[in-house]
Amino acid sequence: MAKALALAQKGDGRTSPNPMVGCVIVKNGQIISEGYHEHVGGYHAERNALLHCAEDPAGADLYVTLEPCCHTGRTPPCTDIIIEKNIARVFVGALDVNPKVAGKGVKQLRDAGIEVITGILEDQCRKCNEVFEYYMTTHLPFVDAKYAMTLDGKIATVSGDSQWVSGEASRQAVHRLRRHYKGIMCGIGTVLSDDPMLNCRIANSIDPVRIVCDTHLRLPIDAALVQTASDIPMWVIAGPEADPDKKSVLEDCGVQVITCGLDKNGQIDLKQALRILADREIDGILLEGGSTLMGAAFKAHLVNKVHAFIAPKVIGGSGAPSPVGGTGVEKMSQAVQLRKMTLTSYDRDFCITGCPQYV
């Protein structure tokens, strides 16, 4: 199953909104085939493996990280070919939370006389598809908040200079994160101050959809995001009162303008925005700030994961911005705490990763 899990992760960034799945087929103690879900619309892992066996797979064991599907979607059901090829036993990492499957695949295999063993490396298999599982069960995108700060908790100097807080190794790690998510989001303040590209600079990777929250459509026409909109998808989420003429100009540049309601503070209603994005099959988002948007996301309990890069620098300044803005909490007991934490070093920087636990 560990081999199947490693195979599954080869599909990272290419299978959305489908899960990443890996499969290994073993006969007489030898691996006779392996496969993974390579890209959305392509064959699933089981079918890829079964169609490329070194010998007849009849009587073999099949290891797969996720329960085989039993419905027709973009591709045929995997249970059909498993039964057709006379597989003896199927070892499943995790059951599929998709209501079209959700135990039905296992039942179909067992009804056909195939022995099915579930829960093999289940935690690791679920973690591999945490984005898919959250999207499938909530119909909201999984939100990963990423920021880089100095040792004293600043994301820029008092003058606004922020290039670069973190080192080259950390920035390369961020590009790997961008490859993992279907969308990447920031606020208009970040665009106005940094003019970012928000693309993925890893060879042969698919760029995420760039998404900017911009209530009043202040996005400059000469911004890098707008100038590259015909090559890399660029969406703007604007309020209902945004200037229609500016909307038309942006659309002429290839930008998709999405209208969304506002919250009580007159800002984009983030939960409504996420629902709209989910309807467009954005299953996961890397949230890259700035501090106002980050604060709103934490306040609304919409952040599912945090990647906090910390550089060994001190810049000071009471007016220098911090990663998470907004009104904050009044008491330390109300603080958002992280669970399932890991600490990773990137040259001189460290990255704390964890899942927020809201009070």
Query: Got the DSSP string for 42-93?
Result: SPPHHHHHHTT-SS--TT-EEEEEEPPP-S-SSS--HHHHHHHTT--EEEEE
Annotated ligand binding at 44? The verdict is yes
Nearest to 15 by CA among 38, 46, 45: 38
22 has binding-site annotation: no
Residue 20 annotated as lining a ligand binding site? no
**178 assigned to a ligand binding site:** yes
Q: Is 84 annotated as catalytic?
A: no
Measured CA distances, 103 to 17, 24, 84, 116, 119 (Å) = 20, 21, 20, 11, 12
| 213 in a labelled binding site | no
Report whether 290 belongs to an annotated binding site.
Answer: yes
For residue 78 the two structure tokens come to 């995997």
Element (H, E) at 284: strand 284-287
* 47 annotated ligand-binding residue: no
E-state strands within 95-208: 115-118, 142-150, 183-187
Residue 259 assigned as binding residue: no
**What share of residues in the chain are helix, strand, coil (percent, to 5)?**
30, 25, 45
Determine if residue 198 is labeled as part of a ligand binding site.
Answer: yes
Q: Active-site residue among 34, 38, 46, 330?
A: 46
Whether 327 has a binding-site annotation, put simply, is: no
Residues at the annotated binding site for substrate? 162, 178, 198, 201, 288
Residues at the annotated binding site for NADP(+)? 148, 164, 190, 194, 215, 290-296
The catalytic residues are 46
Residues at the annotated binding site for Zn(2+)? 44, 69, 78
Residues at the annotated binding site? 44, 69, 78, 148, 162, 164, 178, 190, 194, 198, 201, 215, 288, 290-296
